[in-house]
Amino acid sequence: MKGKDKIWLMAIIMGVIVPGLIFSVAEKLYADKPAVDTDSSTQAAAPEHNGGVIAQEDSILVLQANGTVEKMNMDTYLTGVLLGEMPADFDEEALKAQAVVARTYAKKREQTGAKHIQGAVCKVASCCQSYCAPEDYLQKGGKQETVEKFKNAVESTTGQVLTYQEKLIEATYFSCSGGKTEDALAVWGTQIPYLQAVDSPGEENATHYQDHMQFSAQEFATRLGINPKGTPGTWFGRVTHTPGGGVDTIVIGGKVFQGVDLRQKLNLYSTAFSVVATANTVHIYTKGFGHRVGMSQYGAEAMAVSGSDYAEILSHYYPGTAMGSYLD
């Protein structure tokens, strides 16, 4: 074989065959990687701050439950997100607000690649965003008119995202705040200008606006890993609160606990809680459901019903942000 022919052959091997082998190996390495990384509803891991240029193509790589990746049209994906995230009877303006927030979340994940190596997002609520395909929604008893309603809400906001200082925001959201949202600093230890505590009235119809849990004295102490003396009524000391009304710190059995840690240890709906202790029982009353940072879905619904449009809803829950389109 002549020298030039050898050079061309090596170029072909390096340019075609080797990358294919690398891709094949990588695919096998990550095929069985679990889709779920952490905790709840779009809503657990601390936000990342990586700016970057907004991609122009209106599609998203979505990690499937079997480990494969599907390239989906963004609006098709978002229709499934709304079907998985929002009640069927929610107002159209609340749905539009959710569509913009969910799109912003997805595009931000696409930029940072923080969750998955294979795709920008997955379909698991406890990791990324909830997702329900229209056909699955209908099979479960949902109505076609609801699918069309949600689809229209998504398509009417096509390409729209939220930015802060010309960068995509960390578009966190949750179910219900219990009356006031929370600072990002209080939950994740990071100060974010547009994720501040704001009032969120009108949520009283939310499923988890208020909840009550009770624990025996023994179960409560065991979950917290403490061995306090006396009855539960004597265990509790000083409490400090966050700007959003959540428990920042609380002294229990002489030990200081963070509110976010108690939420995890006791499986509480939120950190906005109060405690009532009796001789043998600890009662905890919570308000809200989720980390309470960003947009309250039930708060968005209350604003929509009161006459606010989706732009006003987003401006309220993400103060200082701007709305634009990456398709312009």
Per-residue pLDDT of the chain (328 residues; tens, 9 = 90+): 444 343 333 333 334 333 333 333 333 222 332 222 233 344 434 454 333 334 445 899 999 888 899 999 999 999 999 999 999 999 999 999 999 999 999 999 988 876 777 778 999 888 899 999 999 999 999 999 999 999 999 999 999 999 999 999 999 999 999 999 999 999 999 999 999 999 999 999 999 999 999 999 999 999 999 999 999 999 999 999 999 999 999 999 999 999 999 999 999 999 999 999 999 999 999 999 999 999 999 999 999 999 999 999 999 999 999 999 988 7
- Residues 98 and 229 placed together within one structural domain of the fold: no
Determine, yes or no, domain membership for 115.
yes
* Residue 4 pLDDT: 38
Residue 314 confidence (pLDDT):
98
Residue 123: HSE in the Cβ half-sphere, 13 Å Cα cutoff: 21
User: In terms of domains, do 161 and 303 share one?
Assistant: yes
133 lies in the same domain as 276 = no
Which residue has 């998985």 as its token pair? 84
Amino acid 30: pLDDT: 28
Listed in sequence order, the residues at least 6 apart from 318 whose beta carbon sits closer than 8 Å to its beta carbon are 162, 164, 169, 171, 194, 195, 294, 295
Angle, CA 247 vertex, CA 244 and CA 253 arms, to 5°:
170
Q: Does residue 22 belong to any structural domain of this protein?
A: no
Residue 224 falls inside a structural domain: yes
- Mark whether 257 and 308 lie in a shared domain: no
195/109 same-domain check: yes
Residue 317: φ, ψ to 5°:
-85, -20
The pLDDT, as a whole number, for residue 114 is 60
How, if at all, do strands 236-241 and 247-252 pair? antiparallel
169: phi then psi, degrees, rounded to nearest 5: -85, 165
Strand order in the sheet with 59-63: 69-73, 59-63, 121-122
Q: Is the residue at 9 inside a domain?
A: no
The Cα 120–Cα 108 span in angstroms is: 9
42 in a structural domain: no
Q: Tell whether 189 and 297 lie within a shared domain.
A: yes
Chain position carrying tokens 């019903």: 305
pLDDT at position 57, please?
58
The DSSP symbol for 235 reads T
For residues 256 and 167, what is the distance between their CA atoms, to the nearest angstrom? 38
Q: Is residue 70 part of a domain?
A: yes
Residues 312 and 169 in one domain: yes
Same domain, 249 and 124: no
Range of the domain at 185: 59-202+292-325
Is residue 223 located within the same domain as residue 311? no
Residues 221 and 279 in one domain: yes
User: What's the chain's Rg over C-alpha atoms?
Assistant: 23
299 is a domain residue: yes
Q: Answer for the pair 98, 82: CB distance below 8 angstroms, yes or no.
A: yes
E strand residue ranges, 64-219? 69-73, 121-122, 160-164, 167-168, 173-174, 210-216
Same domain, 244 and 155: no
pLDDT at 116: 79
184 in helix, strand or coil? Answer: helix
The identity of residue 110, as a single letter, is E
Count up the domains in the chain and report the number.
2
30, part of any domain: no
pTM reported for the whole predicted model: 0.81
Give the integer Cα–Cα distance in Å for 18 and 20: 5
Q: Are residues 266 and 311 in the same domain?
A: no
